Amino acid sequence: MKNKIFALKSIDTLLCQSQESGHALKKALGPLDLTLLGIGCIVGAGIFVLTGQAAAQYAGPAIVLSFVVSAVGCAFAGLCYAEFASMLPIAGSAYTYAYATLGELVAWIIGWDLILEYLFGASTVAVGWSGYVTSCFADFGITLPPSLTNACGTHLVLAPQAGWITLSGAAASALAAKGVNIAALPHAVGIINLPAMLIVLAITALLVIGIKESARLNSAIVFIKITVVLLFVIFGAHYVHAENWTPFIPPNLGGFGNFGYSGILRGAGVVFFAYIGFDAVSTTAQEAKNPQRDMPIGILSSLVICTLLYIAVALVLTGMVKYSLLNVPDPIAVGVNAAGSALVWLRPFIKLGALAGLSSVVLVLLMGQPRIFFSMANDGLLPEVFRRVHPRFQTPHITTMVTGAVAALLAGCLPIGILGEMVSIGTLLAFMLVCAGIWILRRTQPERARSFKTPLVPFVPIMGILISLAQMASLPLMTWVRLLVWMAIGLVIYFTYGIHHSTQRCSSVK
């Protein structure tokens, strides 16, 4: 058993498995498709949802600096992902990389961890999508019941100009400072987030049909939402009030992460979720036409483009609206509404663009998770049913449907704050292991052919590890507790099933 725990899967074996008859995925994606998939995932939750959440609760206007910190960490991790993805064009992302460098047990841990990143991530974004749907309906005079558009047990208050908001401490303080009697405002309690569940189920059906069809839809959506984001930045900049940036770094209110410099770091840990798009690109490596060339292009170009957009939107949004009022699922919509009649023409474009953008994020995340299950089942760590490919569509249809059903349930029942923090800590752990894997592989297999090489090894992977670890340490204690419980469940499954069924199917095992 000890030998199996630390067993490595050779790169030759991994490449052999990807070509197995009856379980091969269709190669249909070029460099533009991969770049747009990355942008489709990155530009979404970070801009349309988490910017407001993190600013209101942790960093204030300095959320801009939080995005910079996260971007630096992502740059180091992205370079490591690019080398792995070009060298191992296999579905599975960090899971596959860990199996080749750190052993079976670590591979299982990272595969289980990636469920937090992708499945929970899709649920998180679906909650944001629901917020914008509710806002769109309100523009047409249709009020959706807050009890059916919020997670079970969520306490809400109908605040002036901001609509229904989660009654957090920061939101209550901001309203009280304006002389608002909170007790006199209408209150509501969430039961289930029905729109969030419906969008997850609809996209799941699309993903079962085919990867190319999904990629085409994503490409169209990306063009729409980038246009909308640029419109918001260009026109919203005219309605920025400098006093909303004062103080740029709100003073710490007591305790780590409660504004101040520690709030910037905690905000970075929370919004790190918004950068997982380039990681999702790597999960489709087995479906890329020329992965050795195209994967680094897709990963790195999508990261650079989206970081610039994030910084611009964060500056404009916190300049238009006081940060304490942004603890809502649809902060960009709140920003546009704050401009009053001057930007009334922009409201439908922003909200429809946000809906389209968040839809593409859900699509990419729900595309990534089944392919990780597919790889784990290929290795025997999950039951055989998870590696079945649809005979007509050539997609992992069973894992796609299972992923969609669970993601829909989570989106309907859990609030966006808990979901977002779980996704962030899962993503950061994955990044740490990928960076460590590059360092190890350079030492153990220096002769291995690499079409793309991470520069400045070991400096780049070490920095990727340290920055990721720092952001993990800044997350709330309960997020760590949930992570440990989740990992404990995963280890039970591994030692009761995975370790007894793991296998390497190709004869080229080393």
Higher-pLDDT residue of 59 and 371 is 59
Q: What is the pLDDT of residues 122-179, one digit of tens each?
A: 888 888 888 878 878 887 888 888 788 877 777 677 766 666 666 666 666 766 777 7
Tell how far CA 381 is from the center of its chain: 25
Provide mean pLDDT across the span 309-324.
91
**How does residue 233 score in pLDDT terms, banded at 50, 70 and 90?**
very high
Which pTM was predicted?
0.72
Is residue 291 reached through a cis peptide bond, with omega within 30 degrees of 0 on the bond before it?
no
**The pLDDT of residue 10:** 73
**How does residue 23 score in pLDDT terms, banded at 50, 70 and 90?**
very low
**The pLDDT of residue 148:** 83
Note whether 166 and 328 are within 8 A (CB). yes
Q: 85: helix, coil or strand? A: helix
**The pLDDT of residue 20:** 54
**The pLDDT of residue 346:** 87
Q: What type of residue is 177?
A: A
Give the percent of the chain with pLDDT over 70. 85
Q: What is the pLDDT of residues 245-278, one digit of tens each?
A: 989 999 988 888 889 999 998 888 778 777 776 6
CA angle 82, 444, 442 (to 5 degrees): 30
Higher-pLDDT residue of 280 and 134 is 134
Relative to beta strand 155-159, strand 163-166 is antiparallel
Sheet with strand 187-189: strands edge to edge: 163-166, 155-159, 187-189
* Residue-range domains of the chain with CATH: 46-448+460-497 (1.20.1740.10)
Q: What is the pLDDT of residues 455-507, one digit of tens each?
A: 899 999 999 999 888 888 888 888 899 889 999 999 999 999 988 888 754 43
Tell how far CA 314 is from the center of its chain: 18
